[in-house]
Amino acid sequence: MIATRLHKMKQVADRTFRLHHLNIGPRLALCFMLIILAMSAGSTVLIWQFQQARTQAERLAAVDQELIAVLQAHISFMSFYERLDVLAQTENTTILVQQIEAIHNALLQETERARSKLSHLAPEVQLDPTLMPTLSAIQLELPAQLQSMAMLAKSGDWEAVRLRLANQIGPLESSSAALVENVDHEVAEQRAQAVMNIRQAQQRIFLIVLTTAALTLLFAAVMGLTVTRSITQPLGRLVDGTAALARGDFFHRVPASGNDEIAGLGNVFNEMIVKLQDLYRELQASETYLAEAQKLSHTGSFGWNISDGTIYWSEETFRIFEFEPTTKVTVAAILDRTHPEDRSTLWQVIERASRDRIAFDVEHRLLMPDESVKYLRVIGHPSTNEENCREFVGAVTDTTDRKHAEEALSKARSELAKVTRITSLGVLTASIAHEVSQPLSGIITNANTCLRMLSADPPNVDGACETAKRTIRDGNRASAVITRLRALFRKKELTLEPLDLNEAAREVIALSLGDLQRNRVVLGSELADDLPPVNGDRIQLQQVILNLLRNALDAMSAVEDRPRELLIRTERDEGGWVRLTVRDVGVGFTPEARDKLFDAFYTTKSDGMGIGLSVSRSIIETHQGRLWAAANDGPGATFSFSIPSGTDTKVQ
């Protein structure tokens, strides 16, 4: 109840005072100023009361002084009287006269002193009205009396002296005594009053101090509380706002009222939240797009700090490697997942990258826990161009699908080629068989007929001759078939054009990359820069290169103890010719086989047709060149062909 009341009062006070429209500085200044004012007011009142008390004290002192003065006067007067009396008794004139002079001076002095004292009293002191006149009377009368007394003494009338003393001065003395009493009375009164006043003043002071203290305290407390709250509450709301922001709550707004600094801060804060919210939304959207894109393209990103080995992976990278997103990624873990055969390659790449800080682009396989294999392409480069850049950024692409597709395509292509080869060869064979077997059949039949005719009784010689003639005819026919076939084989229409053998070689290499990779062949190419163009049939020359490549591949298919290195080299040959060499480290060939290599239907392959090299040689010879083979110093063989270039100087 009280709390709500206070709260309401506070609200009213707030509204009335509109503290929020003042800046904090002025607000605090105002607060302190009011407190100071209150204290000043209190002090003023206090001082006033102190003054009052002091006045009373002074009055008291003055009254006391009054009494003292009167008493002093009286006492001196009394002592003077006593002395006179004593003097009168002694009846010594000279001493009397002397003494009277002294007494006279002393008396005057005293009264004068009394008078001056009394007249110098504080004006608050109410002097007894009879006081001063009495004193003046004494002052006036006494000297006269003294004189007369002196004269009397001189005359020797000591009785008269004593009489005068008793009658004239005596009453003076008693009047002064009476005065003293009066004054004493009055003084007592005044004193009592003054004391009372002082006590009153004391009480009032006490009260005032208390009240002032209490009021000031209360005021200070209220002001302090109000002003403090007017600062801390908005600050609290601001703090809530920042806490909400830290939590990620972008919808929180700081309620800001008024236009002091805190309200200003609150407004700015709200603007900031809105901006952050927008930025965050944009970022989220962009992140989502990126993540989706990574997912769709099977490409994940990574960051790698080569000094401390920390690795960051995007979601997709985790998915590609099939690690839990919470695992800590290390180089060791990556190598662990890598296919054993590719581990050394990958390790070399990693070493080189971290040592030389150069970009890398490597393809390797992963061996998954379920024994499946994934093909990966990893590209990375230093994240900045600085010399001491310690961070790499890059991407990991899962190329398994593409590899499979490529492999399937490559396989299909080679199957197709094989089938085509076989088919066409089959067709060729069938055609040859057909063409030749007819006359052959005729020959055999005729010969058999001839034998029977001749062994008949009598022998049918005419018939036999006829069969013999027919035999010759069929033989010729068969011969004609062979001749035609030879012509068919040899004569191919060449489309001659100037071509760059390097380019042709590169195309063949590109076509065969799949095969080469599948067979784990390490391809080296040394294509001369200054190769002159040759005049030739591009397709046919490429067929030759392909044939040599395939042969090399087949020759190395059983090689396990050494890297399957295949070298293709082009260079200038003498006389302006151009030479292409294919070198392998395969099974090679025996010296005896060397002469038969290029023979048609000579093959060492179980599924070979044996026509590749013979056809290749015939193509090269059509180009006015030559094709030959040589065994290597080490394992394997080297096949080379050399053809004249467009600028050949050799006369063919």
Partner 1 sequence: MCGPMGVDLPELGAGQSNRYLSLIDAHPRFAQSVPMESLEGCAIDKLLVAVVDDDESIRDSLPDLLREFGFAAHAYSSAEEFLASSGIAQARCLVLDIAMPGMTGLGLQQELKSRGRIIPIVFITASKDEVARAQAFEEGAVEVLLKPFSDTALFEALNKALRSG
From CA 418, how far away is CA 414, in angstroms rounded?
Answer: 6
**Could you tell me which stretch among 148-156, 326-334, 341-349, 441-449 binds partner 1 (CB under 8 A)?**
441-449
Residue pair 107/62 in contact (Cβ under 8 Å)? The answer is no
Residue placing its CB nearer to partner 1 in the complex, 218 or 427:
427
Binding residues for partner 1, total number by CB under 8 A: 25
Q: Which of 111, 230, 294, 446 binds partner 1 (CB under 8 A)?
A: 446
Residue placing its CB nearer to partner 1 in the complex, 144 or 482:
482
**Could you tell me which stretch among 49-57, 58-66, 427-435, 490-498 binds partner 1 (CB under 8 A)?**
427-435
For the bound state, the minimum distance from the C-beta of residue 515 to partner 1, rounded and expressed in Å, comes to: 32
From CA 77, how far away is CA 575, in angstroms rounded?
Answer: 169
433 touches partner 1 (CB under 8 A): yes
Cα dihedral across residues 440, 445, 450, 451: positive or negative: positive
3-state secondary structure 111-176: HHHHHHHHHCCCCCCCCCCCHHHHHHHHHHHHHHHHHHHHHHHHHCCHHHHHHHHHHHHHHHHHHH
Cβ neighbour number for residue 284 with a 10 Å cutoff: 10
167 touches partner 1 (CB under 8 A): no
Q: Which residues contact 486 (CB under 8 A, 6 or more apart)?
A: none
Residue placing its CB nearer to partner 1 in the complex, 274 or 419:
419
For the bound state, the minimum distance from the C-beta of residue 481 to partner 1, rounded and expressed in Å, comes to: 11
Residue placing its CB nearer to partner 1 in the complex, 285 or 427:
427
From CA 316, how far away is CA 298, in angstroms rounded?
Answer: 7
- Interactions with partner 1, residue window 585-644 (CB under 8 A): none
SS3 591: helix
- Interactions with partner 1, residue window 460-499 (CB under 8 A): 463, 466-467, 470, 473-474, 477
For the bound state, the minimum distance from the C-beta of residue 422 to partner 1, rounded and expressed in Å, comes to: 14
From CA 650, how far away is CA 579, in angstroms rounded?
Answer: 14
Euclidean distance between the first and the last CA atom of the chain, given in angstroms as a whole number: 124
424 touches partner 1 (CB under 8 A): no
**CB < 8 Å & 24+ apart, contacts of 490-497:** 490/618, 492/540, 492/619, 492/622, 494/536, 494/537, 494/540, 494/622, 494/623, 495/537, 495/538, 495/539, 496/535, 496/536, 496/537, 497/535, 497/536, 497/537, 497/538
Q: Which of 109, 437, 483, 590 binds partner 1 (CB under 8 A)?
A: 437
**Minimal CA–CA distance to 42: which of 224, 199, 202, 215?**
215
Residue placing its CB nearer to partner 1 in the complex, 380 or 439:
439
**Could you tell me which stretch among 133-141, 181-189, 438-446, 528-536 binds partner 1 (CB under 8 A)?**
438-446
Q: Which of 438, 603, 622, 624 binds partner 1 (CB under 8 A)?
A: 438
For the bound state, the minimum distance from the C-beta of residue 479 to partner 1, rounded and expressed in Å, comes to: 13
441 touches partner 1 (CB under 8 A): yes
Residue found under tokens 């068989």: 433
**Could you tell me which stretch among 109-117, 437-445, 562-570, 631-639 binds partner 1 (CB under 8 A)?**
437-445
**Minimal CA–CA distance to 495: which of 556, 434, 538?**
538
For the bound state, the minimum distance from the C-beta of residue 609 to partner 1, rounded and expressed in Å, comes to: 18
Residue placing its CB nearer to partner 1 in the complex, 202 or 445:
445
For the bound state, the minimum distance from the C-beta of residue 485 to partner 1, rounded and expressed in Å, comes to: 15
Please report which helix (H) or strand (E) contains residue 88, including its range: helix 24-90
Helices (H), 556-642: 591-596, 612-622
501 touches partner 1 (CB under 8 A): no
For the bound state, the minimum distance from the C-beta of residue 614 to partner 1, rounded and expressed in Å, comes to: 24
**Could you tell me which stretch among 183-191, 407-415, 459-467, 627-635 binds partner 1 (CB under 8 A)?**
459-467
**Could you tell me which stretch among 298-306, 309-317, 332-340, 448-456 binds partner 1 (CB under 8 A)?**
448-456
For the bound state, the minimum distance from the C-beta of residue 437 to partner 1, rounded and expressed in Å, comes to: 4
Residue placing its CB nearer to partner 1 in the complex, 75 or 430:
430
**Minimal CA–CA distance to 526: which of 562, 478, 579?**
579
**Minimal CA–CA distance to 546: which of 602, 505, 489, 588?**
505
Question: Could you list the residues that contact partner 1 (CB under 8 A)?
Answer: 430, 433-434, 437-446, 448-449, 452-453, 456, 463, 466-467, 470, 473-474, 477
